[in-house]
Amino acid sequence: MTSSPLIEFRQVSKVYGQGEAAIRALDHVDLAINAHEFVAIMGPSGSGKSTAMNILGCLDVPSGGDYIFQGIPTSGFDRGQLTLLRRHMLGFVFQGFNLLSRTSAVENVELPLIYRGMGVRERRDRAHEALALVGLSGREHHKTQELSGGQQQRVAIARAIVTEPALLLADEPTGNLDTKTSVEIMDLMTRLNREQGITIVMVTHEPDIAAYAQRLLRFVDGKLETEVEHRRRADHVL
C-alpha cells in the first residue's frame, strides 16, 4: 500500500486575460511530489514554471483542475484559508532574501512565529535552533547588513524552516550568489532534505543547481514536458 503524494496537480490550468488576449500559462498539468523529495523545476521564460510555483505556494489559484495538498483539494479554499495554509504548512526562500535590513538575524527568523502568536521565549529558542541548523550559531545578533550574501540566504532559509513546514519552496535561491556560495547553499539545502526530511521544490534556470535535486520537472509552453530522476550532484560531494 503506497501513501498519497504530499502535493499533487490534477489537470491544473491557469489562464490570464480573456478572449483573444488570453494567455494559457499552464495547460492541464498533472504532477505529484511525495514527502521528503527534493524536486527541481526548470523551463524557459514563459514556460509556466513560475506560475506552477505560485500555485504550489498558494499565492495564486488554478483556473481549472485542482491543487491537492496532503490529500485535500484546495479549490474550495477562500483567501483566509489559503493564508493559513501558507502560514502553517509552507516555507519560502527567494532569490532576493527578503530580510528586514535593520533587524538581527534572530529577529528575522522569529517573524513567522510572531504571526502565529508564539510567546517570546519559545520563538527565540526556535529561532536559535533554526540558525544553528543552517550554520549561523554565533551570528544570531548580527544585523542583515553585517552579513554576506550567503549568510543572508542562510538566515532566509532558517526563517523558512523555523515553522517546521511540510513543504519548502525555493525560487532561484542561488540567483544572487557567486559560484562558491551557491555550492555552499545547495549543500545546505541537500542536508536539510536528507537529514531533516524537509520536502523541497526549487525553481532554477541553472542545470548545475538543478542537479542537486533528486528529480527534475521541465516545463515548456505551459505543459510538463519531462520528468527525470537522477543521482543528484550532492551525492558525490557529501
76, three cell numbers: 474550495
CA dihedral 211, 187, 192, 103 (to 10 degrees): -120
pLDDT at residue 83 in the model: 93
Which residues of the chain have a pLDDT value below 70? 1-3, 230-238
pLDDT at residue 238 in the model: 44
- pTM as predicted: 0.92
Q: Is residue 164 included in any domain, yes or no?
A: yes
Q: Give the CATH number, domain containing residue 68.
A: 3.40.50.300
CA dist 219 to 51, 138, 156, 227, 236, Å? 11, 41, 27, 9, 27
Q: Is residue 236 included in any domain, yes or no?
A: no
Q: Is residue 237 included in any domain, yes or no?
A: no
Q: Is residue 171 included in any domain, yes or no?
A: yes
Q: With b meaning 16 or more CB within 10 Å and e meaning fewer, what string describes 82-117?
A: beebbeebbbbbbbebebeeeebbbbbbbebbeeee
pLDDT at residue 104 in the model: 96
CA distance 18 to 10: 23
| 146-165 pLDDT per residue, tens | 999 999 999 999 999 999 99
Q: Is residue 147 included in any domain, yes or no?
A: yes
Q: Is residue 235 included in any domain, yes or no?
A: no
Domain count, the chain: 1
Domain carrying residue 221: 7-229
pLDDT at residue 4 in the model: 82
Q: Is residue 1 included in any domain, yes or no?
A: no
DSSP states of 137-196: TT-TT-BGGGS-HHHHHHHHHHHHHTT--SEEEEESTTTTS-HHHHHHHHHHHHHHHHHH
Q: Is residue 157 included in any domain, yes or no?
A: yes
Can you name the residues that pair with 202 across neighbouring β-strands?
40, 170
58 φ/ψ angles, rounded to the nearest 5 degrees: 60, 30
In the three-class reduction of DSSP (H, G, I as helix; E, B as strand; rest coil), residue 82 is classed as helix
Q: Report which of 91, 70, 59, 93 is spatially closest to residue 173, judged by C-alpha positions.
A: 93
